[in-house]
Structure 1
Amino acid sequence: MKVIFMGTPDFAVGTLEAIVAAGHEVVLAVTQPDKPKGRGKSMQYPPVKEAAIAYGIEVYQPERVRRLECIEYLAKYQPDIIVVAAFGQILPKEILEMPKYGCINVHASLLPKYRGAAPIQWAVINGEKASGVTIMRMDEGLDTGDMIASVAVELDAQETGGSLFDKLQDAGARLCVETMKSIEDGTAVYTPQDNEIATHTKMIQKSLGKINWSLSAVQIERLIRGLNPWPSAYTYLSGKTLKIWKATVHPGNTDAAPGTVVKADKQSLVIQTGVDRLSLEEVQLEGKKRMPVADFLRGFTIENGTVLGTKQQ
Structure 2
Amino acid sequence: MRREELVDLNAFLTVAEEQSFTRAAAKLGTSQSALSHTVRRLETRLGVRLLTRTTRSVVPTEAGERLLGTLRPALDTIGAQLASLSELREKPAGTIRITTGEHAANTVLWPALERLLPDYPDIHVELSVDSGLTDIVTERFDAGVRLGEALAKDMIATRIGPELRMAVAGAPAYFRTRPVPATPQDLAGHQCINLRLLSSGGLYAWELEKDGREVRVRAEGQLAFNNVPMIVRAATAGFGLCCVMEDQIAAHLADGRLVRVLEDWCPPFPGYHLYYPSRRQPSAAFALLVEALRYRA
Q: TM-score, normalised by structure 1?
A: 0.25
Higher strand proportion (structure 1 or 2):
1
Q: TM-score, normalised by structure 2?
A: 0.26
Higher helix proportion (structure 1 or 2):
2
Which of 1 and 2 has higher RCO (CA within 8 Å, sep 6+)? 2
